[in-house]
Amino acid sequence: MTGELPPLPFALPDVGEEEIAAVAETIRSGWVTTGPKAREFEERFAASLGEGIEAVAVNSATAGLHLALEAIGIGPGDEVLVPTWTFTATAEVVRYLGAEPILVDVCADTLNIDFAAAAEKVTERTRAIMPVHIAGYPIDAKALAAFADRHFLKVVEDAAHAYPCADGDQRVGAGTSEATVFSFYATKTMTTGEGGMLVTRDPEIAQRARVMRLHGISRDAFDRYRSTASPWRYEVVAPGYKYNLPDPAAAMGLVQLSRAEEMRGKRQAIAERYLTAFADLDVELPPVVESGVHAWHLFIIRLADEAARDAFVAYLSSLKIGTSVHFIPLHFQPVWRDRAGHVASDFPVASREFDRVVSLPIFSSMNEAQVERVIAATREALA
């Protein structure tokens, strides 16, 4: 390893000439807001999950989660179960609606929400559960559905890490949950720069999300601007938001969608290289999916303790290799900690595992030399 090597970032979007050409063509068409490309993106994304799915394109997964909760009727006084191991967006959208996010501990192996811990948090005010497929490891779909049925809860899945992903034969987004929301942020498994997609089997949820994503207007921009009869006339039926995805982003998304399986395969190959290369080291490796599909959005390893983790991060940084930590649990964040008076012992698994985790670079445009560089540096640090 030499100091002459260029920086190797933790993540990079896998965007090529085809995406650039698609965006340029769309801009030249004149559709720079939500239009035909966004509609085509929705249709193709829904089709990728199977029959009976409706998709609503939005400008972020945060927007999609907000719309989904609003569409299922979450409001003031309600409680929504949220894993503490997630990004703050999962909890903050609950507060947008005046409801309360109730933080739940996670499973030690997958870092996904622990249903046993969740059961202890259910009250008469609990209306929904919002699990997260951490790193692209799919939540047990049957267990999730059974938990929701047992406690009479609605389900919104935070699938920001999870496209394409499946539990057994069931793709994430194709199940019985009220809604599932995917992210197309720059670091995700496919990207539109910023953006997301809400999917559902419920036409009423889809229609409500379509209306609310654009100021509560009863007709979207595409329908109004292509109309020959009174294109200026519309009705505002609810106080909505500004969450629509513009066509240039959707054009990029269409190309990325066509490459999604290929890009996931590259991530899988990198993950397999890491799993083999680090098998003899004193480090806990991420679990593999025995039946289904892992999206491998993240490759999270666990070291002995916080001191070992921080030293490891510093060493790779000295070699210009980027790493990250996913996540700082929400109960450690001042806004959520102080609101509920949380302490570390309230969430023993998440508190313990946070001290140990670090995410290694994994992105589909990584070349062989970059993968080998990460392997060599990790072995040097941990051997």
Catalytically annotated residues: 188
How many CB atoms are closer than 10 A to CB 276? Answer: 11
Q: Which H or E run contains 155?
A: strand 154-159
User: Strands 166-167, 299-302: parallel, antiparallel or unpaired by DSSP?
Assistant: unpaired
Tokens encoding 177? 């949950």
Give the CA distances from residue 318 to residues 97, 307, 311, 358, 371, in Å, rounded to whole numbers and listed in that order. Answer: 44, 16, 11, 16, 17
> What are the φ/ψ torsions at residue 100 (nearest 5 degrees)?
-120, 120
Which of these, 186, 182, 142, lies nearest to 162 by C-alpha position? 182
Instruction: Tell me if 253 sits within 8 A of 193, measured CB to CB.
Output: no
DSSP single-letter state for residue 77: T
Structure tokens at 343: 């302490």
Q: How far apart are CA 149 and CA 249, in angstroms?
A: 37
Within 10 A of 269 (CB to CB), how many other CB atoms are there? 14
Q: How many residues in the chain? A: 383
Phi, psi of 207 (to 5 degrees): -65, -40
Report the 10 Å Cβ neighbour count for 349: 18
Q: Could you tell me the two tokens for 311? A: 């030293």
